[in-house]
Chain A
Amino acid sequence: MTWHPVASSADLTYRTTYHAQISGRELVAWRADDDAVNLWENRCLHRGSRLTLGINDGAELMCRYHGWRYANRTAGCTYIPAHPADAPARSVCNRTYPVAERYGLVWGSVEPQDSGQAGPPAVDLLEAGAPTPLRPIVVNAPPAKVADALAGYRFQPSAAVTQHPGAAADWRSYRSPVGEWDVATVERDDLRVTLRAADGDDETHVVLWVQPVDAHRSVIRGVLDARPPAPSRLAVLRHHNHLLSRLRDRVEEQAALEPMPEPIQVEIVPVTVELSGMPELGAGRRAPLRVRVARKWSAAADVAGFELEPVGSPLPGFQAGAHIDVHLPNGLVRQYSLTNGPGESDCYRIGVKLEPESSGGSVCLHETVREGDVLAISEPRNNFTLSRASERTVLLAGGIGITPLLSMAQTLRQSGLAFEMHVFVRDRRFLPFGELVSSCGDSVVEHLGLSPQRTTEEIGRILGEHTLSAQLYVCGPAPMIEATSGIADELGWPEESVHFEYFANPNEIDDSTAFDVALARSGLTLRVESAQTVLEALRAHDIDMPSSCEQGACGTCLASVLEGEILHQDVYLSRSERAAGDRMLTCVSRATSDRLVLDL
Chain B
Amino acid sequence: MIKLYNYELSANCYKQRLFLSILGLDYEAVTIEFFPGMEHKSEAFLEINPLGHIPVLDDDGFMVRDAHAILIYLAARYDPSGRWYPTSDPELLAKTAQWLLFCEGTTSTASAARLHDSLHYDFDIDAVRAGAHRLFRVADEHLWFAEQEGYDWLVPTDHPTIADLALFPDVILSEEGGVSRQDYPALHRWTDRVKRIDGFTPMPGVFFAAPARA
Contacts and interface: CB of A to CB of B under 8 A. Distances in A.
B145 A234 contact: yes
A593 interface: no
Nearest to B147: A10
A237 interface: yes
B207 A53 contact: yes
B145 A19 contact: no
Contacts of B211: 15
Given A56-B210, A135-B141, A135-B144, A16 B183 contact: no
A17 to B, nearest CB: 9
B210 A238 contact: no
A16 B192 contact: yes
Nearest to A11: B185
A219 B141 CA distance: 14
Nearest to B213: A14
Given A16-B188, A18-B185, A55 B144 contact: no
Given A16-B188, A18-B185, A237 B210 contact: no
Interface string B161-194: 0000000000000000000011101001100100
B189 A237 contact: no
B207 A21 contact: no
Contacts of A15: 209-211, 213
Interface in B123-153: 137, 141, 144-145, 148-149
B210 A234 contact: no
A490 B144 CA distance: 78
B185 A55 contact: no
Given A53-B207, A55-B210, A57-B210, A238 B185 contact: no
Nearest to A135: B144
A21 B188 CA distance: 16
A55 B211 CA distance: 10
A53 B210 CA distance: 11
A156 to B, nearest CB: 19
A7 interface: yes
A64 interface: yes
A449 to B, nearest CB: 34
Interface in A1-60: 7, 11, 13-16, 18-19, 21, 53, 55-58
A16 B189 contact: yes
A21 B182 contact: yes
A13 B189 contact: yes
A200 to B, nearest CB: 28
A241 interface: yes
Nearest to B191: A16
A138 B145 contact: no
A64 B183 contact: no
A234 B148 contact: yes
Contacts of B188: 16, 18-19
Contacts of B137: 138
B139 to A, nearest CB: 13
Contacts of B145: 135, 234, 237-238, 241
Which of B137, B149, B182 has the most chain A CB atoms inside 10 A of its CB? B182
A34 to B, nearest CB: 14
B183 to A, nearest CB: 4
Interface in A51-73: 53, 55-58, 64
A14 B207 CA distance: 17
A21 B183 CA distance: 10
Of listed A7, A19, A21, residue having the most chain B CB within 10 A: A19
Contacts of A135: 141, 144-145
Contacts of B149: 234
Nearest to B181: A19
Contacts of B141: 135, 241, 245
Contacts of B144: 135
Contacts of A58: 210
Nearest to A61: B210
Interface string A572-600: 00000000000000000000000000000
B182 A64 contact: no
B135 to A, nearest CB: 14
Nearest to A52: B182
Nearest to B210: A15
Interface in B18-34: none
Contacts of B207: 53, 55, 64
A447 to B, nearest CB: 37
A300 B148 CA distance: 44
A135 B149 CA distance: 13
Nearest to B207: A64
A202 to B, nearest CB: 22
A21 B144 CA distance: 20
A31 to B, nearest CB: 12
Contacts of A245: 141
B123 to A, nearest CB: 22
B189 A19 contact: no
Interface in B199-214: 207, 209-213
A58 B189 CA distance: 16
Nearest to B144: A135
B175 to A, nearest CB: 9
B210 A138 contact: no
Query: Quick one: which of B137, B188, B210 has the most chain A CB within 10 A?
Result: B210
A219 B185 CA distance: 12
Most buried by A among B137, B148, B149, B183: B183
A241 B148 CA distance: 13
Interface string A96-137: 000000000000000000000000000000000000000110
B59 to A, nearest CB: 36
A138 B148 contact: no
A474 B87 CA distance: 72
A286 to B, nearest CB: 36
A15 B188 CA distance: 12
Contacts of B209: 15-16, 55
Given A135-B141, A237-B148, 20 more contacts: A7-B185, A13-B189, A15-B209, A15-B211, A16-B188, A16-B209, A19-B181, A19-B188, A21-B182, A55-B207, A55-B209, A55-B210, A57-B210, A58-B210, A136-B185, A234-B149, A238-B145, A241-B141, A241-B145, A245-B141
15 contacts: A11-B189, A14-B212, A14-B213, A15-B213, A16-B188, A16-B189, A19-B185, A21-B182, A55-B207, A64-B207, A135-B141, A135-B144, A234-B145, A237-B145, A245-B141
Interface of B: 137, 141, 144-145, 148-149, 181-183, 185, 188-189, 192, 207, 209-213
* Across the A-B interface, the 5 shortest Cβ-Cβ residue pairs: A15-B210, A138-B183, A19-B182, A11-B185, A55-B210
